[in-house]
Each structure stands twice: as C-alpha cells, then as structure tokens.
Amino acid sequence: MTDKDQFFMREAWEYDPGAKPKPAPDAHLGFNTRALHTGFDPLKSVKDFRSFVPPITQSMTYPYERFEEIPYPVYGRTQTPTTAVLEERLAALEGGEACVTAGSGSQALFDLIFTLTRPGDNVVTSLNIYGEGYKQATAIFPERCGVDFHFVDDPADPASWDAAIDDKTKLVWVETPSNPCLFVTDIAAVADVAHAKGVPLLVDNTTATAALQKPIALGADMVLLSITKFLCGNASVLGGAVVGPEALVEDVRWNTTEFVGAVLQPFEAWLTLQFLETLSLRMERHSANAQRVAEFLAGHPRVEHVNYPGLVGHPQHELAQRQMRAGGGMLSFVAPGGMAGAGAVIDRFQLITHAVTFGTSRTICMHPPTITHEHMTPEERAKAGIDDGLIRLSVGLEDPDDLITDLDQALSG
C-alpha cells in the first residue's frame, strides 16, 4: 500500500469498551473560553489571513505543492479549513476526541448508523426520539439497508434497555431531553447497561447542548447534534455533527461522508462559530424564560398538562437536576380539545410564530402529531406521551412577560 493509499483509506472503527478516551481539545479551559478560542488563534493567523475571526475558506479543492505531498484537506467532501475549526470547537465543548459535521442533524445520524451497521444488525432506542429519526428507524434503514431498530418498553428502566440488546446490536441511541415531550433518560445508567453488553452509547444532545449537559462525561461514547437548533440559535443554519472517538469520527468522514457528500458548507460553519460564542449565555436565558413560561402554563386552567424538566412535577425532575445545569429552552403542553383545540390556540398567537424547528432566539411553536411525529401510529404517539392536543414551544429570548401575555390570550380565546 502506498502513502497515498494510507492517506485516503481508513480502517472501520471497532468499539473497545475498555479504551480510555484521549483528553478533549483544550480540556483544561473553561466552557466559555473554549466556545471563544478553540480551533483558531488570531495571532497565528496573521501571516495568512490577518483575521480576528476564523475566515471563510470558500474553496472545495486544495492544491498540491508536490506530487507526493498530499494537502489536507484535499477536497471539500471531507473537510474545509472553516469546518475544521468548527469541528475542533464542538469536540472541545462536548468533551470528545473529535467531531465530523454534516449537512443536517438527520444526515449526521444517517452517516453514523450507515457507518456502524450492516444488514442483519440492529440499533436499540426508544420512542422518545425526534420524528425524522423515527422515520429512519422504522422505514429507511429496515427496508433499504436491512438494519432493524429495537424500541425499549420502558425507557426509564435500565433493565428494559438491557433486555432489548442482543448480539447483533451495534449501537444504543438515547435522546434526552426528548423532543417533543422532554422525557429525561438516565445517561449513566443506560451507559452502564450498554457497556456491559459491549455496545457503544450515542446521546442526542441537541435539546440541552453542552452548555447544559455533558453526555460523554456521564458515560456516553458519542454525541449527536443538530447544529440547526440551539447551537445556531436563529434558524439561519442547517447542519449536524457527531462527536466521539477520533477513530470513529474518521471512519464516518472517510468511509461515509466522503462518498455521500452531504457536508456542512464553509459559510454555515462560519456562522455557527459566531453563534457558539454566546451559547452559554443564550442557554441560560432560554432556560430562565422557559421556567417562567412552564410555571405559568402549569397553573393555567386551560392547560391540561405541561412537559418541562424544570418543573417539580416532571417525572424525571430529580434526574434532570443531577444530569443538567438547567431545564433548557423547550417545553410542550396539552391544550384542551385535541387537534382542533391545539390548532385554535396556535392560530390565536400574536407574538409566537408557528413554524417547524426549535432552538430559535424568537419563540416558536409547532404541533408534533401532525408534523414531526405524523409517521407514528396513534398508539405509538400515546405511548410516547404525544397527545393530539400537544403543542411544542421553543421559548426564545424575549421578555418572558410578553410571552406569557400572548399565551394567556391565545389559551383564553
């Protein structure tokens, strides 16, 4: 094998439960310092760019200096200088060895599962996952790739996770807090179960972000992120990422992403780098506002139920307090009257916007039963707590009193 062959080919990653991860990039620095500095040093950029912020390198190919000296990156499907800075920074924030980005969060999940599994293998998860992930789990991978998904009966019980894992399981996948019902899964407990069976654990940390929750520190092997949501924070970027062991990340990059080609573009990476600088401050404000709104909704006579881990009445409130720094910026509540009742409330909002996403600086709402989770059967939605009257609310950075006023008038009709 030549040097060029070694450069372009990567071995398939094999999970080793006993392997000790290398220290995360800039692990000795505080979270906010990493969010501002990791991956780019303005002083070292003086010769090439003279830039205080990481530059946008809008090039998809990179020239060779000599025939045998291969540049890196070499082509835009693997990495660009701008995405390289973002990937190093995301890895540092999550406490992982390395990171690979993708064109969306769903693409990042697809790339990871496509890399790890083969026909006949399976992935263990629960019904507490985002809607497009459920579609991949029940139709795309089983029907087109021969990879099955086992859904645990009781995600709150570690024994249920243990029972679902067999000798063909290649990955355990948890989303916590979950979208849209904010179910909180015990990351450390599920990690213990998965590792005892020799299986790695993936945690979708999109809702909490590393500002509020550190899955890898709690035992997870890898983290899935939708950059589109709170990491970006204003609905201007579409992107995703996987953080984990360097060997796994490079397996995904060179053996899947390189050929699928659905990559994060330099401009989106550059925008995300700017937004990450205020991530910690934004998540504090999102959480504080969501707590105020959740407490108001919990006491409203026209609200049947509220899902928010910051509420004392939430089933996993104590776990959330141990596992998270705050409750996060997303909640959901049940309006009376089923779908028609939810629709009437949504149509009366004057300040809150109805659109399909979450994690935005402005408050946004959505109806999961008819949009993100329409692929689920009514029985599956009921088991996951997705009532026909459920409204998902991503609480923004507005003055909370204004949000409460809008919610009150919409609910009171």
Tokens of residue 164, six digits? 């679902």
3-state secondary structure of 360: coil
Cβ–Cβ < 8 Å for 331, 306: yes
Tokens of residue 151, six digits? 């859904």
What is 201-251 written as a DSSP string? EEEE-TTT-TTT--TGGGT-SEEEEEIIIIIT-SS----EEEEE-HHHHHH
Nearest-angstrom CA–CA distance, 296 and 301? 10
- Is 325 considered catalytic here? no
Phi, psi of 299 (to 5 degrees): -100, 5
Among the options 34, 111, 130, 186, which is catalytic? 130
Among the options 111, 204, 221, 251, which is catalytic? 204
Among the options 229, 253, 282, 381, which is catalytic? 229
Nearest-angstrom CA–CA distance, 23 and 242? 17
What is 147-205 written as a DSSP string? -EEEEPS-TT-HHHHHHH--TTEEEEEEESS-TTT-----HHHHHHHHHHTT--EEEE-
Nearest-angstrom CA–CA distance, 247 and 225? 18
Among the options 77, 214, 381, 392, which is catalytic? 77
Strand order of the sheet with strand 353-354?
A: 305-307, 330-334, 390-394, 364-366, 353-354
Nearest-angstrom CA–CA distance, 374 and 368? 7
Nearest-angstrom CA–CA distance, 300 and 371? 26
- Is 204 considered catalytic here? yes
- Is 77 considered catalytic here? yes
Helix (H) or strand (E) holding 392: strand 390-394
- Is 75 considered catalytic here? no
Cβ–Cβ < 8 Å for 190, 161: yes
Active site residues: 77, 130, 204, 229
